C-alpha cells in the first residue's frame, strides 16, 4: 500500500464511526475467522464459503457489517471529487440511474445527486445494522424471518456504490494508488453475494464486463 494511500485509510475518512463487533461474542469470533482467511491469502472464492458448522445468518450478518465499513471507507476516499456539481445524478454511466426510496421522506423513487444518495444510503444501512431486532448481537437471540430480505437489500444498494465509483471515479482511485485495494474488496464482495445468491443478477449488470475479466 502506498504511503499516500496509507494516510488516506489511516485518517479513517468514513462518513461515520464503524460498527464494531463486541469481543467475546459469537459474531466477533466469526469476524476474526473471516479476517484470518483473508489475511492468509486464501483464494477469495474459498474465503467466502460458510465455515463448517456455522449459521448462515451469522455469517451473512458479519459480512454485511464488514462490507458496509469497507465500502463506506472506499467512498470516503473519493468523496471530495463526488459533488452535487460533478455527479448531479446517482448513476453508473448513461444506462443506469439509481433513485432513492425509503419509508420516510422519499416514498417514491426520487432522483438525487450521488453524494446525497450516498449519505442517505449509509444512514439507512447504519440504522438497519444497529437495530437489535434485525441484527441481534446476543448469542441465542434468533434472527427475524425478514433478515435475509433486509441483508439482500443492503448488499444490492452497496453494490451501487461500487458501480458509481468504478464508472465515475476510477481515475481518482488510480491516482491515489488505491486500485488494488478497491479491486480486492470488489472481488470479495462479488464472490460473497454470488456464493449465497444475495443480489439480483440485474443489479450486477453495470459491471458485468469488468467482473468477467476480474473474477474468472
List all residues 6 or more positions away from 157 whose beta carbon is below 8 Å from its beta carbon. Answer: 121, 124, 125
**Ligand-binding site membership of 63 (annotated):** no
Query: Is the dihedral angle over the CA atoms 197, 200, 203, 205 positive or is it negative?
Result: positive
Architecture of domain 3-214 in CATH? Up-down Bundle (1.20)
pLDDT tens digits for range 133-156: 999 887 778 999 999 999 999 999
**Ligand-binding site membership of 52 (annotated):** no
pLDDT tens digits for range 149-200: 999 999 999 999 999 999 999 999 999 899 988 999 999 999 999 999 999 9
* Predicted TM-score of the model (pTM): 0.85
**Ligand-binding site membership of 188 (annotated):** no
Neighbours of 19 (CB within 10 A): 16
What DSSP state is assigned to residue 81? Answer: G
Q: Residue ranges of the domains in the chain?
A: 3-214
**Ligand-binding site membership of 216 (annotated):** no
Amino acid at each position: 500500500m502506498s504511503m499516500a494511500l496509507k494516510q488516506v485509510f489511516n485518517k479513517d475518512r468514513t462518513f461515520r464511526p464503524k460498527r464494531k463487533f463486541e469481543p467475546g461474542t459469537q459474531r466477533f469470533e466469526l469476524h476474526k475467522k473471516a479476517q484470518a482467511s483473508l489475511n492468509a491469502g486464501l483464494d477469495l472464492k474459498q474465503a467466502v464459503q460458510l465455515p463448517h458448522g456455522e449459521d448462515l445468518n451469522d455469517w451473512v450478518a458479519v459480512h454485511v457489517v464488514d462490507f458496509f465499513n469497507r465500502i463506506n471507507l472506499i467512498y470516503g476516499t473519493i468523496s471530495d471529487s463526488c459533488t452535487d456539481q460533478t455527479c448531479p445524478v446517482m448513476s453508473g454511466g448513461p444506462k443506469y440511474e439509481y433513485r432513492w426510496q425509503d419509508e420516510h421522506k422519499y416514498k417514491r423513487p426520487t432522483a438525487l445527486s450521488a453524494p446525497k444518495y450516498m449519505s442517505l444510503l449509509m444512514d439507512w444501512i447504519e440504522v438497519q445494522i444497529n437495530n437489535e431486532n434485525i441484527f441481534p448481537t446476543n448469542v441465542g437471540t434468533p434472527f427475524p424471518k425478514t433478515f435475509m430480505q433486509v441483508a439482500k437489500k443492503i448488499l444490492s444498494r452497496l453494490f451501487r456504490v461500487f458501480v458509481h465509483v468504478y464508472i465515475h471515479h476510477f481515475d481518482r482511485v488510480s491516482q491515489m494508488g488505491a486500485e488494488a485495494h478497491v479491486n480486492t474488496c470488489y472481488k470479495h464482495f462479488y464472490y460473497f453475494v454470488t456464493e449465497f445468491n444475495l443480489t439480483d443478477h440485474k443489479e450486477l449488470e453495470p459491471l458485468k464486463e469488468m467482473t468477467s475479466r476480474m473474477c474468472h
